[in-house]
A and B are shown apart, each in its own frame.
Chain A
Amino acid sequence: MTQGAATDDHYPSPPPSSARRVLGHAVTRIEDLPLVTGYGRYAGDINFAHQLHMRIVRSNKAHGKIISIDASAATKMPGVVAVWTNDDIADLSPIDFRADKNATGIREFRQPALANTYVRYIGDPVAAVFAEDPYVAEDAAEQVVLEIEELPVVVSASDPPGEFEPGRSSEAIVLHHSFGDIDAAFRNAHAVIELDLKTGRHSGVPLETRGAIGVYDAAKDLLELHGAAKIPHRNRETLCRMLNRGPSSLHVHESHVGGGFGIRGELYPEDLLVLVAAMRFKRPVKWIEDRHEHLMCANQGREQRHLARIAVDKDGRILGIEDEIFHDQGAYIRTHGVNVPNRTMCMMTGAYHVPAYWAKARVRLTNKTPAATYRAPGRYESTFVRSRLMDAVAAKLGLDPVEVRRRNLITADQLPYVIAFNEPGVEELEFDSGDYPALLEKALKAFRWDELQADMKHRRAAGELVGAGIAIFMEESGRGPSDNAKIKVDPDGAVELITGGASLGQGFETSMAQICAEALGVDYRRVRVIHGQTDLIDHGIGAHAARATVLTGGAVHVTATMVRAKAIEFAAELLQTPAAELDIVDGTVMRRGDEGGPSISLGDIAKRIAPGSKLLRGRDPQLAAHGWYNTDHTVFPYGVHLAVVRVDRETGKIAVERFMVAYDVGRAVNPLLIEGQLVGGCVQGLGGALSEEFVYDETGEPLSATLADYLMPTLHEVPDVEVLLTEDAPSPHHPLGLKGAGEGGINGAGGVIASAIDDALGMPGAITRLPVTPQRVRELLRKTAQQ
């Protein structure tokens, strides 16, 4: 039975968790047993008989023309099967964009699987070695001799653009977003403030590095990619396009994934190479990225410079915001196209009512690792800029920073709030539901903001440098269009749930099991959740941009409701009871409130309606369904971050004493998992705010290519993050009221930390750049000491 739910519009407000059996409850995860007992199956654990191992030879120059690649010594080494250069894959398309939207004018900047004539960053794949053993492959890769004629290097998007190739500027494209009358806003302003701000280059560094295993079954002409993550189905589409294969001849398989954060699971050169090699050698080909490669080659992000201006009236009300963005794209434009600068621009105004807005993003290529989406792409950056602007307004007008924010927040009665951009083709935003001022007040109260101010005053008087900050932000999640799910009840009552979603370790299995169990009336632990297998379900949205729970969850709800209806329909006949009187409790259909009365288990119903059963009378056998959830909407969760920091005057070191994430998720599927998401995101955000930075020297040499140089916070560096999770604004566009929660912990972390450090230093506007390293703080303190 296949059936689609009607495109949603307005759903009634869903019941609170107290009226639910398992949905909305903080139940424990079902996926952990193999993970904590050593039976996890990550890319590195996947092996096939007779597999080859691939090792990539990478450019050691940031920009240059390839004069020669000498692989003769490597090719002769025992155990080496082949060494490829671009010549061996000359007909292969560069790594394509996932969505073709906005692709005009930027296709030339896509990355070839192996460098074609030019190398553009240190780490750029130049050759691929295939060998019987990974050690041999690495030994051989060292023997490949590159002769590269160096070309001028561009390492900053603020510098004048250079050449991507002869005659083609490294400023790939200039993008615009605007609405309202910006000239009038600035003309009529009481005050105008201009800031020059920078967000540093950082990224997700998952515990599991990338991995890809290509397998070709010549008997079936079937190509398989293992080790996939995040968006297996969408990657299959792209791969089919690039390799010119039909979808049923190429399958993508996700196993356990040790973290994604937006960067893992995108298509990279290595994914393509293992597939092509598997076909050509008729042998499985395995590639596992090492940490050093990961820190030089996997997507990085965040690096932008903003020349931002804000116009306000005498009360600090925003009249307009203008922003010119220099987006450091790194060496190529990867699968997301120009998504990050676009998200930066469209989310810049956040939860504030801004009458006029004008933004321009210069997307510039640099000779550094390519950049793409990292958890809360464009939002971490824009919230930092917006928060800095709000703090600057407060300082300039002598207002309280919280009060300035209060005055500008979109109020509940303004919702739904539509932001429509002037530019054709730029999607409008429709903030669906919420009460932003109410969340702000709740957060301040929970944080004991007023007592805190008094306490800090005492501490400052005693000589401490302590300060607090605030950042308010919008999130976006659950963008459509569709996802689907298949559910089948086995004769023993176990439930198989096949989804088009993906799991990066976020608790996907548990959340989907909860949604299924709630609608169907079974124990969530009896639901086996399958994800990331393109051969089991033809379409899937994957796990990105906080979509999985919303979209796949919607599909699971629709499908489980269909199975439920079918179970009740047959149970009504079998129990001779009107369907309206029946309920399903713990996998058993019974009369509502009549325990001990006539009943039948779901397993028994499944048995009774097997193919050939007389009961069917023309209806489809099996207690199963395939359902779809379709939506045209994006849902908008929102949040407030609050933090207290202490600065060590002598060393510049910053200690984060307290951090609160207040977040309205609409309806929580599982508060425990959401808290995990928010805290984890927050820690990554603190990394980007204080210590994580991919630094390059002027020759394009990456200086942060080990975990001793790229400083992720550890437990010692982060406080116990306080979480205030609210469910005040379920989305009217979702049957369960759900909104995403993957990015609410990280979004405001840069903004709030900058704000708190300013406050601690007593130097409004001092922080203009992330991360705020101790050395940079010392420089600020030294400047004032000299004044």
Chain B
Amino acid sequence: MKPAIFRYHAPKTLHEAVAVLADVAPDDGRVLAGGQSLVPIMAFRLAKPAHLVDINGIKELAQITAVDGKLRIGACVRHAAFYEPVCDGPLGKLLATVVRSIAHHPIRTRGTFCGSVAHADPASEWCTVVATLDGEVAAQSKRGQRIIAAKDYFAGIMTTVLEEDELLTEVRLPLLPADTRVGFQEFSRRAGDFALSMAVVTYRIENGKMADARVGIGGAEPYARRIVEAEAALDGKAPDAETFQAAAVAAAAAIDPLEDFNTSAEYRRDLVRAMTRRALDSAAA
């Protein structure tokens, strides 16, 4: 479990980083953010990048700002930055809830929000948040900048549309309207483990009925996504137990579950159903 040999680069500016990445990307060069996914993979020699471009020294990437109704999370912002709400209103509260389910404290002090989104593990909590809220991903390369919508960003298990020479500079999330209700639940075997399923839900109440409902499911399919069937079961209905259960059943039915030796398709559906309903319950509470 010792990594294969690699060259280490430590650019100090975004400009420099993008230039180095353009240089080394064709030769299996990779960005090193918190290292909490990449380094273990290198230790197993499942990845043997020839170059690492360490972005941790780039100050301009370590910021969280709110601009034009969007929260912008820079590439060096660690998970632990979200322990306290980073903005007023429901979004800050949601992120502060979600972060408690990501790994363990020491990992959260190194791992980054954007690193999770770049890595795109099917069970990434942040990816589920980004997919549910239709966030955006900003990618920078020597060739220029792209803003990619969440629905166009994920491409498969740990696969995204990011090009090898692109640095993910920030993720943008909509600052949710103040009356948005948010809920999150996940199931993992042990505290801190990657979840076997999770649900992020948001909705508003208009005249006693739910509106703008979003139900995002992570950990159950190759990548997180909104489940429109579940959302349709909520919009225009009163937030009651029966409706929540109907939405949960719809979510479980709509997914195409990943399977492994510990998780049959049927079990995964059980978990999606339970997590969706519980997330809706917690949003209502």
A651 B187 Cβ-Cβ under 8 A: yes
B45 on interface, CB distance cutoff 8 Å: yes
B187 A703 Cβ-Cβ under 8 A: no
A573 on interface, CB distance cutoff 8 Å: no
Q: Which of B1, B190, B267 is within 8 Å of A775, CB to CB?
A: B267
Q: Which of B5, B190, B194 is within 8 Å of A139, CB to CB?
A: B5
- Cα distance, A142 to B46, chains bound together (Å): 12
B78 on interface, CB distance cutoff 8 Å: no
Residues of A within 8 A of B189 (CB): 691, 711, 774
A135 B5 Cβ-Cβ under 8 A: yes
B2 A292 Cβ-Cβ under 8 A: no
B1 A290 Cβ-Cβ under 8 A: yes
A134 on interface, CB distance cutoff 8 Å: yes
Residues of A within 8 A of B191 (CB): 714, 716-717
Residues of B within 8 A of A782 (CB): 266, 270
B192 on interface, CB distance cutoff 8 Å: yes
- Cα distance, A714 to B192, chains bound together (Å): 10
Q: Which residue of B lies closest to A55 (CB)?
A: B2
- Cα distance, A713 to B192, chains bound together (Å): 11
A773 B262 Cβ-Cβ under 8 A: yes
Kindly count the residue-residue contacts between A and B in the assembled complex, taking CB atoms under 8 Å apart. Answer: 55
- Cα distance, A691 to B188, chains bound together (Å): 12
B190 A717 Cβ-Cβ under 8 A: yes
- Cα distance, A206 to B278, chains bound together (Å): 37
Residues of B within 8 A of A779 (CB): 267
Q: Which of B4, B194, B264, B271 is within 8 Å of A651, CB to CB?
A: B271
Q: What is the minimal beta-carbon distance from A553 to any residue of chain B, in angstroms?
A: 37
- Cα distance, A728 to B278, chains bound together (Å): 50
Q: Which residue of A lies closest to B275 (CB)?
A: A651
A697 on interface, CB distance cutoff 8 Å: yes
Residues of A within 8 A of B271 (CB): 651
B5 A775 Cβ-Cβ under 8 A: no
B27 on interface, CB distance cutoff 8 Å: no
Q: A651-B274, A714-B192 known; A135 and B2 CB under 8 Å?
A: yes
Q: What is the minimal beta-carbon distance from A298 to any residue of chain B, in angstroms?
A: 15
B194 A708 Cβ-Cβ under 8 A: yes
B109 on interface, CB distance cutoff 8 Å: no
- Contact string, A706-743, partner B, CB cutoff 8 A, digits 1/0? 10100101101100000000000000000000000000
- Judged by DSSP, the binding face of B is loop
A138 on interface, CB distance cutoff 8 Å: yes
B8 on interface, CB distance cutoff 8 Å: no
- Cα distance, A695 to B273, chains bound together (Å): 27
Of B44, B192, B262, which is in contact with the most chain A CB atoms at under 10 Å from its CB? B262
Q: Which residue of B lies closest to A691 (CB)?
A: B189
A716 B190 Cβ-Cβ under 8 A: yes
- Cα distance, A773 to B196, chains bound together (Å): 13
A138 B2 Cβ-Cβ under 8 A: yes
- Cα distance, A708 to B260, chains bound together (Å): 14
Residues of A within 8 A of B187 (CB): 651, 653
A714 B190 Cβ-Cβ under 8 A: yes
A110 on interface, CB distance cutoff 8 Å: no
Please count how many residues in chain B sit with their CB below 8 Å of the partner chain's CB atoms: 23
Residues of B within 8 A of A691 (CB): 189-190
Q: Which of A290, A703, A716 is within 8 Å of B261, CB to CB?
A: A703
A526 on interface, CB distance cutoff 8 Å: no
Q: What is the minimal beta-carbon distance from A296 to any residue of chain B, in angstroms?
A: 12
Residues of A within 8 A of B240 (CB): none
- Cα distance, A292 to B45, chains bound together (Å): 11
- Cα distance, A713 to B1, chains bound together (Å): 23
Within 8 A of A (CB), among B28-76: 44-45
- Cα distance, A773 to B274, chains bound together (Å): 17
B16 on interface, CB distance cutoff 8 Å: no
Residues of B within 8 A of A695 (CB): 261-262
- Cα distance, A139 to B5, chains bound together (Å): 8
A651 B5 Cβ-Cβ under 8 A: no
Residues of A within 8 A of B45 (CB): 142
B263 A775 Cβ-Cβ under 8 A: yes
Q: Which residue of B lies closest to A703 (CB)?
A: B261
B256 on interface, CB distance cutoff 8 Å: no
A778 on interface, CB distance cutoff 8 Å: yes
B261 A650 Cβ-Cβ under 8 A: no
B190 A778 Cβ-Cβ under 8 A: no
Q: What is the minimal beta-carbon distance from A122 to any residue of chain B, in angstroms?
A: 15
B262 A775 Cβ-Cβ under 8 A: yes
Q: Which of A142, A650, A697 is within 8 Å of B273, CB to CB?
A: A650
B270 A139 Cβ-Cβ under 8 A: no
B193 on interface, CB distance cutoff 8 Å: yes
Q: What is the minimal beta-carbon distance from B248 to any residue of chain A, in angstroms?
A: 10
Q: What is the minimal beta-carbon distance from B265 to any residue of chain A, in angstroms?
A: 11
- Contact string, B187-224, partner A, CB cutoff 8 A, digits 1/0? 10111111000000000000000000000000000000
Residues of A within 8 A of B44 (CB): 292, 706
Q: What is the minimal beta-carbon distance from A283 to any residue of chain B, in angstroms?
A: 21
Within 8 A of A (CB), among B139-163: none
Q: What is the minimal beta-carbon distance from B184 to any residue of chain A, in angstroms?
A: 16
B2 A650 Cβ-Cβ under 8 A: no
- Cα distance, A703 to B271, chains bound together (Å): 22
Q: Name 7 extra pairs, CB < 8 A, besides A135-B2, A775-B264.
A: A652-B270, A691-B189, A708-B193, A708-B194, A713-B190, A716-B192, A775-B262
B-to-A contact residues, CB < 8 Å:
1-2, 4-5, 44-45, 187, 189-194, 261-264, 266-267, 270-271, 273-274
List 12 A-B pairs, Cβ < 8 Å. Answer: A142-B45, A653-B187, A691-B190, A695-B262, A706-B44, A708-B193, A708-B194, A714-B190, A773-B262, A775-B267, A778-B270, A779-B267
9 cross-chain pairs, A with B, having the tightest CB-CB distances, nearest first = A716-B191, A650-B274, A290-B1, A775-B267, A138-B2, A135-B2, A651-B187, A651-B274, A711-B189
